[in-house]
Amino acid sequence: MKIRDVVLQDRLSQPADTRVWTFNINLVDPVTEFKIWFRAQNGASKPGATGRTALPYEVDEIAIVDGSEVIASMNGAECFAMYCFNHGKPPFIWEQELAGMSQYWCLPITFGRHLWDPEWIFDPRKFRNPQIRISFSTTIAAAQYATLSTQISVWAKVMEEGARPRGYLMTKEIKEFASLASGDEITYLPTDFPHRKLMIRTYKQCGQMNDGTSHLKLSQDEDKWIPWDLDAHDFIFLMRDWFPEYHFHLKKYMDYGESREHYGGTYAHLKVCAAETDTIVGLSGGANNCVEIHAVGSDSTDEDDVMAWLDTYTRTPFDCYCYPFGNQDIAEDWLEVAGMGNLRLILTQGGTGSTTEIVVQQAHPY
């Protein structure tokens, strides 16, 4: 096996007024992963009451396409969370909120069971004109960040020798909807290729993922077979058996009593300490995806302009539920759907104001 890490783009600046960035994949050897690196400089002003908007929220889509065929497609938060669930650890993150400082986020697209998978791998020779397409939110160049400060780097992990391409893991968002106060949202999942993972992200700023989605059920052929039918809390509890705990180290900048996102969803546990030696900080809440950080200085009751280090430990990164089908290392153990009449995901809603996204990971053969 002979592997190399190739830099396809190095700190390419986002052009003015450009929201979609596309470039050709000029490789002939199989690729196990594309690492998409984002760097943005914070704006000159300090964050507001809920902090700076996390950079992954400004990435509307990272897609691998071949003409009209979509090989992979996820937004920034989905990319981050799916990497966690695939590899048992988060991708690189360097978030700090001080004005004028830079943030770095790595949002990868992976095609195999692990980073050196010789069988499930993206083979450019199987496609006519493969491209990477990145779509941005307009906010990324607004007051949150310095104008036109965003830079992108793209690395490819290339397998020159030893690859035996069998297929690739096709990971896509297939649906997004706004939650209602009650009722079921039914989604018919694709039945063309085997399913390896199913991920549901329910996000509301400073909200709880189990409010927007309060119950999850998967049903084949009108309840002929039901893999799971669970309250959202119980689903999260069972995720302890399926996934390890993920750790994010964040640098937050706040006034007394302001809220900050911890990106850990529900049932995260947190640690916080002050960067200043004469300041004591404490947490309030934490069940939601935001925490309130109380800072008490040595010479005042209510402290402003405090830098704190926040450590998040979670199994629900970026407010995501995830279900792994079978042994994740054995392709024959994944959910075979070819003989099914239908496969329905039934999500019970419990509150308005959340955005729910459904992502499937399927084994696409060559």
For residues 156 and 268, membership in a common domain is answered with: no
The confidence score (pLDDT) of residue 37 equals: 95
In a domain, 217, yes or no: no
Q: Do the domain assignments include residue 1?
A: yes
Among 146, 165, 184, which residue terminates a domain? 165
- Tell me what pLDDT residue 300 has: 47
Give the pLDDT confidence score for residue 214 in this predicted structure. 97
Q: Is residue 188 part of a domain?
A: no
In this structure, the answer to whether residues 259 and 126 fall within a common structural domain is no
Domain count, the chain: 2
Tell me, yes or no, whether 259 and 149 share the same domain: no
Q: Is 262 left (phi over 0), alpha (psi -120 to 50) or beta?
A: alpha
List per-block mean pLDDT (blocks of 10 residues) for the chain, which spans 366 residues: 94 77 94 96 85 89 97 98 98 93 96 96 97 82 73 95 96 97 97 98 94 97 97 97 96 82 92 73 73 62 74 97 98 96 97 97 98
Is 156 found in the same domain as 65?
yes
SS3 per residue for the chain: CEEEEEEEEEEEECCCCCCEEEEECCCCCCEEEEEEEEEEEECCCCCCCCCCCCHHHHEEEEEEEECCEEEEEECHHHHHHHHHHHHCCCCCEEEECCCCCEEEEEEEEECCCCCCCCCECECHHHCCCEEEEEEECHHHHCCCECCCCCEEEEEEEEEEECCCCCEEEEEEEEEEEECCCCCEEEEECCCCCCEEEEEEEEECCCCCHHHHEEEEEEEECCCCEEEEEEEHHHHHHHHHHHCCCEEEEEEEEECCCCEEECCCCCCCEEEEEECCCCEEEEEEECCCCEEEEEEEECCCCCCCCEEEEEEEEECCHHHEEEEECCCCCCHHHCECCCCCCCEEEEEEECCCCCEEEEEEEEEEEC
Does 66 reside within a domain?
yes
Same domain, 251 and 160: no
Say if 16 falls within a structural domain. yes
Per-residue confidence (pLDDT) for residue 139, from 0 to 100: 55
The pTM score is 0.95
Q: Which of 272, 289, 314 is the last residue of a domain?
A: 314
Do 30 and 139 lie in one domain? The reply is yes
How many residues are listed for the chain in this entry? 366
- CA–CA separation, 308 vs 48, rounded Å? 15
Please tell me the predicted confidence (pLDDT) of residue 295.
63
Out of 113, 133, 165, a domain closes at 165
Residue 266 resides in a domain: yes
Q: Is residue 241 part of a domain?
A: no
Q: Establish if 62 belongs to a structural domain.
A: yes
Could you tell me which of 6, 51, 107 has the C-alpha nearest to residue 308?
51
Q: Are residues 137 and 261 part of one domain?
A: no
CATH number of domain containing 61: 2.70.9.10
Query: What does the block give as tokens for 320?
Result: 């995501």
Structural domain harbouring 302: 246-314
